[in-house]
Amino acid sequence: MKIKKVNLALGLVASVALAMPMVALAAADQEAAMKDPNNWAHPRGQHDNQGYSKLAQINKANVKNLKAAWTFSTGVNRGHEGSPVVIGNMLYVHTAFPNNVYALDLNDNQKIVWSYFPKQDPSVQAIMCCDVVNRGLGYGDGKIFLQQADGTLVALNAKSGEKVWDVKVLDPKIGASNTNAPHIVKDKVLTGCSGAEFGVRCYFSAYNIKDGSLAWRAYHTGPDSDILLGADFNKENPAYSALSVYQDVNGGNKIGGSFKAIPADQLKVGEKELGVRTWLKPQAVKDGWQHGGASIWGWWPYDAKTNLIYYGTANPSVWNPDVRPGDNKWSMTIFARDLDTGMARWGYQMTPHDEWDYDGINEVILFDKGGKTYAWHHDRNGFAYTFVAGTGTLVAAEKVHPFVNWATHVDLKTGIPHKDAKYSTHQDYNAKGICPAALGTKDQQPAAYSPKTGLMYSPLNHVCMTYEPVESKYVAGQPWVGATLTMFAGPDGVMGGFAAYDPMTNKKVWYNKEKFSAWGGALTTASNLVFYGTLDRWFKAVDAQSGKELWKFQVGSGVIGNAFTYGNKGKQYVGVLSGIGGWAGVAMNLGLTNDTDALGAAGGYKELTQHNAAPGAGNLNVFSL
């Protein structure tokens, strides 16, 4: 009887979709579901990636009355990132490895309607860089989509949980894995690639939603034809396609050397084949770009007006910058690609010749202002960027906090960050006092936007580091990092915070300090509330306009999941996954104690053991009035 009820709920969503003008789209049911604010049908709520809900029953006056409504133990330990998806009366939730999936009936006391237990080789856990996390599920075309750690993309029948199709996206034998939530747009399923710490040459893939056949694949290093760069790529901003943006100072890639920005009138712009030509000799392996890294695992927005999908690429391999002279394009890059063809419309490299593992992988958020659509990105390098979404023209680039010191500023005309020579890194030299640390001023935890206030709300890491590149030989399937680092609290004396920014200037509006990094993704609501979680187990609600803390609840394990909300039977619920892990918590989960373990996280976050049991236990926590 309960199954019939579930079928009816999903059938109603489908029937609404069939009445829509988007009937030609395979994922029309997802589009219909996203129009109802009672659902949470996308990993970040909507295609714009804002993490915003129109629900307002929970407001500033009554949020103090929030109580635990129900909980669900995932039965899995370690880091739990992302959030469930909610369609009608069904909630679908995922776990860390082995990536189990549960379908819960919200109309029947969260009864498990179906479950899916992947059969994965446990050895894949050893190649997952920063904990065995998974960032969530996708929904569309009557299917739930799971990207398994072992590179298998799976489509499950949303009603029954039966497998419809699966496809192998990558090969774990070379060190490649997956952690991203599949994103469903129109008739495509989008998925990425992790493995920059293993020398994997990563790519972005689009599969046809009906049968799992490959629609297109775009690499991030190598020839233009592999990266899918067309004739109009960066046509409005040819400086983004400069052959080199720096001139060497005191030898460049050697101890005592650094890099000075080339003046705009001297840049060699509009160049081709930069994914090959900017990986210069000497290289630790081949020509560098063949094992160039540039992973992708974040949350990706889509703009139907331009048909563009936006995302960031990660660090170049290897972390030792001296063995890969050049800008190392197109790692550390924000791309805008045509959804149907994969062709890149524009690409902007935020940290050319990355010396600190400042992945450019954090999410892009789309918002409208004055009749224009803008793209906002809080990068791990400590700068927040605002672009004209359709062209990539840079509008604002500012430090999210004054402690960021590796660069003095970003030139808005060229987009070039001006590096501070004191913080360059070189093989066998221990560079000290670099801010931020490699995990950035924000890592995987997505920011949120409120169209009510016009502000961005971003979790923060306030962490600095010492960084020593070392020699490292490439071996397929083995770690290839080439650096040793330690981490410590930044000059504010804390390791985290939460802040609001004006995205047109990227100036800070308010800032709350946190003892540890705020590693949970943010949620904004129409009642001017912002929700987020912390590593010391707090789930909080603050005033979107002032930052004043209005409510908090301490859950069982540190929060690295994303806050979400949904409505059921006239009541609003807000929830979050708990289960500490990710880069900040992986050392604690594994019992690592040397300061340099877990790429510096063991030393930097050693106090987490005073607030969390290890390993962290996965739990879904849901609250209501």
Just list the catalytic residues.
357
Find the largest Cα–Cα distance for the chain. 75
CB of 96 within 8 A of CB of 78?
A: yes
Q: For residue 2, what are the CA distances in angstroms to 10, 90, 105, 161?
A: 13, 11, 8, 15
CB of 398 within 8 A of CB of 384?
A: yes
Give the separation between CA 172 and CA 123, rounded to whole angstroms.
Answer: 9
620 token code pair: 């879904």
Which strands, in side-by-side order, build the sheet including 203-208?
183-185, 188-191, 203-208, 214-219
Contacts of 144 (CB under 8 A, 6+ apart): 85, 92, 101, 103, 137, 138, 155, 156, 157, 158, 161
Element (H, E) at 225: helix 224-227
335 token code pair: 């791309």
Q: What residues pair up with 521 in beta bridges, in sequence order?
A: 562
Q: For residue 518, what are the CA distances in angstroms to 84, 175, 178, 495?
A: 20, 29, 24, 9
Q: In a 10 Å sphere around its CB, with 0-12 CB exposed, 13-18 middle and 19+ buried, how is residue 599 labelled? A: buried
